[in-house]
């Protein structure tokens, strides 16, 4: 029975033209965006080409390569007979000609990184030449140079604000927030639609109010999950394809798992409650009187997660609120991103949410059952609970 | 024989006593017409019978046991405020509702095809309900009450908004269902229709059942009346104890007695005084009965 209801909800949402169009447009945008962005993002990491004139200058090539390797930049050194020096060839960063110790460097602008690189290479070549002239072994010298580094001891706060972690947690709870707000509104609109079109009365003649509400939440939930997945998958594809995640240092798997667990828990907690509250009004126009407080209410845990967690990832207030089901869906993912929560805390937050869900369902079911057949103005919660 | 028994229902809304200890029984296979002024409590009683509303006290039983969820899904219900998903297709919607009542997919499809055919909306199956005219939406609404092969039918004003042809179709359908052994209870303000269609009628006033029974029984309960057509002096009186006569027009008299047995004496008196062309008993229509019962002073109207 509950599946029949869920299926109808799912189908009416998923098969609606608007939904199909939006989803496909988003997917196409993300994928095409990634495909177009790739060459631009990559041109930065491309190897710089330095043309070295054949002849004496060519002796600089190994030094250029060594310096580039030490600096961690990618440089391609090509030996060219009589390179063009009045204008650089396409894709060429610099041209080097002349004697090893006093070469001439042609570049587009003097502050190119390539200038410093060539400078260092020329000095290294000169140093080698001098060492050899003095009868020493250049290899030994460079080894000694490489070996003498200072040990760095950082005295500042080691747990500095990590923007990568913050970003990962932020994305998860922000997506969660928007998906929840959107699904809650879809459910609320559905509840009011049934109420204003008065189908509820024939539905309730054969279905329990809680089953009806539950089926709705389930159907819309699956739809929202599918929609979220249809956005997340291309996003993840884009991120992997563009190699964005490497720089954040968070694994995609953990991010998705984190998201899905709290999506399901948060979904059950919030949407059930808001579905129940939606039954308090009878017309779409009055829905605002329920949705506005809902949005404000949901912003509380969102802002706590954004402002409290980075400042005090494992402080007592944060730890305490983490265990409150209403806040957990936002606080836990954020703290997980900061790696500031113990597995035990996560487990107990999940268990508490699992206990709270039936209570929320019961409460929402009561409100829903009491209010759903009431027509006319907005009903008060207390009246709805007393009703029937 | 199973029966739907409404037993001492009480329902109050604040100060309003919507149902004031109402009781009646509808036997299987019986068409029960439920009439009463606006606000008398018909809808409230039907909603309670359906279980969408809870009574303050009293019970509703079918075949001796209370109506629980399983049994409720065997009831066909047409609410007063019609409701279907406006944007869902007629066929899809009926199949969905049938399945919510526990029918399998194939059976539901078959029932949907059957009832849309019978009720004349077969060619609208693929249209969204909101695209249908009011009367056709009404037909779909009735189909939704019938599609799951209910064991009890509770219909709140099923005839309002229907054209005469549709009224005929709907009446036939209700008769057919009753013949199948289904108790049918429906409310209506179209009293001629109720009179033609129903086996029994219940009249409610201010939440109380003030009259109930077969049409004949109910109308016979009233003071007997006759219409007398005769050439009589204007000052004529029947001269029988307990009998009054009023001159309606030149040759028409309306005679009322406490007892039907007074008829021969009245006729004899009239024949003696002049030429009588006709003397017929005058059964009140349900409408008249309704007016009498509802107008009787007793408490304030809701
Ligand atoms: N939700 C409600 N809140 C308060 N009073 C109500 C409510 N529903 C019904 N009533 C009251 O209960 C009484 C009976 O109403 P009901 O709808 O049962 O009448 P009805 O016989 O169906 O009338 P109608 O012929 O107009 O449909 C009325 O006095 C009405 O005002
Ligand atoms: Mg009514």
* A174 in the same domain as A143: no
* A189 in the same domain as A52: no
Ion ligand 2 neighbours, Cβ < 5 Å = B 42-43, 80
- Residue with CA at minimum distance from ligand 1 atom 5: B13
Stretch A318-333: mean pLDDT: 86
Stretch A205-229: mean pLDDT: 85
* B92 in the same domain as B8: yes
Query: Domains in chain A: how many in total?
Result: 2
* A92 in the same domain as A180: no
* A107 in the same domain as A171: no
Residue B289: inside a domain = no
Residue A352: inside a domain = yes
* A188 in the same domain as A98: no
Which of residues B202, B219, B236 is at a domain's end? B219
Rounded to a whole number of angstroms, the distance from the CA of B75 to the nearest CA of chain A is 8
ipTM > 0.90? no
Residue A24: inside a domain = no
Residue A280: inside a domain = yes
What local confidence, expressed as pLDDT, does residue B125 receive? 92
Confidence check: pLDDT of A299 > 80? yes
A193 neighbourhood in chain B, CB within 8 Å: 85
List of residues 6+ apart from B96 with CB closer than 8 A? A4, A8, B88
Q: How far apart are CA A360 and CA A363, in angstroms?
A: 5
Residue B180: inside a domain = yes
Query: pLDDT class for A275, splitting at 50, 70, 90?
Result: confident
* B238 in the same domain as B172: no
What local confidence, expressed as pLDDT, does residue B301 receive? 42
Q: How far apart are CA B55 and CA B45, in angstroms?
A: 9
Q: Which ligand is nearest to the CA of B294?
A: 1
Give φ, ψ of A136 to 5 degrees. -90, 180
* A167 in the same domain as A143: no
* A140 in the same domain as A172: no
What local confidence, expressed as pLDDT, does residue A358 receive? 86
Binary contact (B144, A202; C-beta < 8 A): yes
Residue A3: inside a domain = no
| Residues of A within an 8 Å Cβ radius of B | 1, 4-5, 8, 12, 193-194, 197-208, 373, 375, 388
Tokens for B29? 């296979």
β-sheet with B65-66: strand ranges across: B16-27, B3-13, B57-62, B65-66
Which of residues A147, A171, A204 is at a domain's end? A147
Residue B294: inside a domain = no
Query: pLDDT class for A43, splitting at 50, 70, 90?
Result: low
* A273 in the same domain as A141: no
Stretch B234-240: mean pLDDT: 84
Residue B231: inside a domain = yes
What local confidence, expressed as pLDDT, does residue B187 receive? 93
Helix axis angle, B134-146 to B105-118, nearest 10°: 140
CA of B263 to the centre of ligand 1 (A): 43
Which of residues B171, B194, B219 is at a domain's end? B219
Answer yes or no: is the C-beta of B39 below 6 A from any ligand 1 atom: yes
* B241 in the same domain as B124: no
Which of residues B219, B240, B262 is at a domain's end? B219
CA of B156 to the centre of ligand 2 (A): 7
* B128 in the same domain as B260: no
C-beta neighbour count of A100 within 10 angstroms: 17
What local confidence, expressed as pLDDT, does residue B221 receive? 53
CA of B43 to the centre of ligand 1 (A): 7
The domain that contains A133 carries what CATH number?
3.40.190
Q: What is the share, in percent, of chain B residues with pLDDT greater than 90?
A: 37
* B163 in the same domain as B47: yes
* B234 in the same domain as B140: no
Answer yes or no: is the C-beta of B13 below 6 A from any ligand 1 atom: yes
* B16 in the same domain as B121: yes
Q: How far apart are CA B262 and CA B154, in angstroms?
A: 42
Burial tier of A299 (Cβ tally within 10 Å: 0-12, 13-18, 19+): middle
- List the domain range (segments joined by +) for residue B246: 225-283
Instruction: Determine if residue A258 is left, alpha or beta; phi over 0 gives left, psi from -120 to 50 gives alpha, anything else beta.
Output: alpha
What local confidence, expressed as pLDDT, does residue A251 receive? 63
Whole-model pTM over 0.80 = no
Which of residues A119, A147, A175 is at a domain's end? A147
Residue B288: inside a domain = no
* B230 in the same domain as B117: no
Q: Which of A193, A198, A205 sits opposite B81 (nearest CB)?
A: A198
Residue B300: inside a domain = no
pLDDT tens digit sequence for A81-110: 888 778 777 778 788 888 877 888 888 777
Q: Which of B52, B81, B87 sits opposite A205 (nearest CB)?
A: B52
* B208 in the same domain as B75: yes
Which of B17, B41, B161, B210 gets mutated to test ligand 1 (max ligand atoms within 8 A of its CB)? B41
Query: Domains in chain B: how many in total?
Result: 2
Residue B290: inside a domain = no
* A270 in the same domain as A138: no
What local confidence, expressed as pLDDT, does residue B300 receive? 45
Q: Which of A198, A203, A375 sits opposite B82 (nearest CB)?
A: A198
* B76 in the same domain as B153: yes
What local confidence, expressed as pLDDT, does residue A246 receive? 56
Residue A73: inside a domain = yes
Q: What is the atom index within ligand 1 of the atom nearest the CA of B207?
A: 14
Confidence check: pLDDT of A50 > 80? yes
Residue A220: inside a domain = yes
* B229 in the same domain as B172: no
- List the domain range (segments joined by +) for residue A68: 47-147
The domain that contains B98 carries what CATH number?
3.40.50.300
Whether B113 and A37 have beta carbons less than 8 Å apart is answered as: no
């Amino acid at each position: 029975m509950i599946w029949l209801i869920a299926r109808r909800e799912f189908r009416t949402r998923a098969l609606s033209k608007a939904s199909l169009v939006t989803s496909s447009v988003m997917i196409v945008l993300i994928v095409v965006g990634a495909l177009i962005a790739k060459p631009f993002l990559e041109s930065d990491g491309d190897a710089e080409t330095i043309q070295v004139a054949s002849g004496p200058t060519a002796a600089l090539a190994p030094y250029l390569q060594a310096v580039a390797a030490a600096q961690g930049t990618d440089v391609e050194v090509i030996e060219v007979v009589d390179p063009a020096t009045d204008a650089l060839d396409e894709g060429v960063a610099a041209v080097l000609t002349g004697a090893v110790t006093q070469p001439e460097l042609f570049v587009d602008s003097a502050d190119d990184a390539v200038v410093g690189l060539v400078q260092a290479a020329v000095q290294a070549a000169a140093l080698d030449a001098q060492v050899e002239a003095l009868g020493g072994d250049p290899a030994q010298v460079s080894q000694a140079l490489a070996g003498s580094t200072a040990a760095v001891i950082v005295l500042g706060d080691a747990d500095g604000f990590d923007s990568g972690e913050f970003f990962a947690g932020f994305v998860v709870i922000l997506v969660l927030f928007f998906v929840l707000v959107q699904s809650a509104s879809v459910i609320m609109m559905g509840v009011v639609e049934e109420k204003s079109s008065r189908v509820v009365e024939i539905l309730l003649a054969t279905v329990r109010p809680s089953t009806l509400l539950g089926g709705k939440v389930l159907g819309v939930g699956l739809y929202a999950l599918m929609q979220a997945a249809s956005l997340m998958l291309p996003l993840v594809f884009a991120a992997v394809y563009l190699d964005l995640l490497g720089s954040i240092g968070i694994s995609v798997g953990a991010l998705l798992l984190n998201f899905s667990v709290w999506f399901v828990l948060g979904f059950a907690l919030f949407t059930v409650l808001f579905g129940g509250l939606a039954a308090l009004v009878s017309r779409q126009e009055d829905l605002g009187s329920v949705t506005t407080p809902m949005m404000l209410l949901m912003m509380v845990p969102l802002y706590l997660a954004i402002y409290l967690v980075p400042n005090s990832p494992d402080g007592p207030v944060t730890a305490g609120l983490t265990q409150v089901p209403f806040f957990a869906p936002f606080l836990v993912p954020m703290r997980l991103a900061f790696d500031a929560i113990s597995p035990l805390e996560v487990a107990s937050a999940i268990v508490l949410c699992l206990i709270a869900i039936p209570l929320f369902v019961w409460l929402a079911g009561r409100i829903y059952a009491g209010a759903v057949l009431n027509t006319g103005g907005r009903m008060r919660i207390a009246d709805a609970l007393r009703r029937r | 024989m199973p029966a739907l028994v409404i037993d001492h229902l009480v329902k109050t809304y604040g100060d309003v006593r919507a149902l004031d200890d109402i009781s009646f029984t509808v036997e299987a296979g019986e068409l029960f017409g439920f009439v009463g002024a606006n606000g008398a409590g018909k809808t409230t009683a039907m909603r309670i019978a359906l279980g969408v509303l809870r009574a303050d006290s009293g019970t509703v039983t079918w075949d001796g046991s209370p109506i629980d969820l399983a049994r409720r899904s065997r009831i066909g219900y047409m609410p007063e405020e019609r409701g279907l998903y406006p944007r869902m297709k007629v066929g899809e919607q009926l199949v969905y509702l049938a399945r919510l009542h526990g029918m399998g997919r194939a059976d539901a499809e078959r029932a949907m095809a059957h009832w849309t055919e019978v009720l004349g909306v077969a060619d609208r199956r693929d249209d969204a309900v909101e695209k249908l005219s009011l009367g056709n939406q009404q037909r779909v609404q009735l189909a939704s009450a019938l599609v799951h092969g209910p064991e009890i039918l509770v219909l709140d004003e099923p005839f309002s908004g229907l054209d005469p042809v549709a009224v005929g179709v709907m009446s036939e359908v209700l008769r057919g269902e009753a013949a199948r052994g289904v108790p049918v209870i429906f409310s209506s303000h179209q009293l001629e229709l109720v009179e033609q269609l129903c086996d029994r009628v219940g009249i409610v006033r201010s939440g109380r059942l003030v009259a109930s029974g077969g049409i004949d029984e109910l109308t016979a309960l009233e003071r007997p009346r006759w219409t007398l057509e005769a050439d009589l002096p204007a000052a004529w009186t029947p001269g029988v104890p307990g009998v009054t006569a009023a001159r309606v027009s030149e040759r028409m008299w309306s005679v009322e007695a406490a007892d039907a047995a007074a008829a021969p004496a009245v006729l004899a008196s009239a024949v003696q005084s002049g030429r009588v062309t006709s003397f017929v008993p005058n059964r009140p229509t349900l409408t008249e009965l309704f007016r009498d019962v509802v107008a009787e002073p007793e408490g304030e109207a809701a």
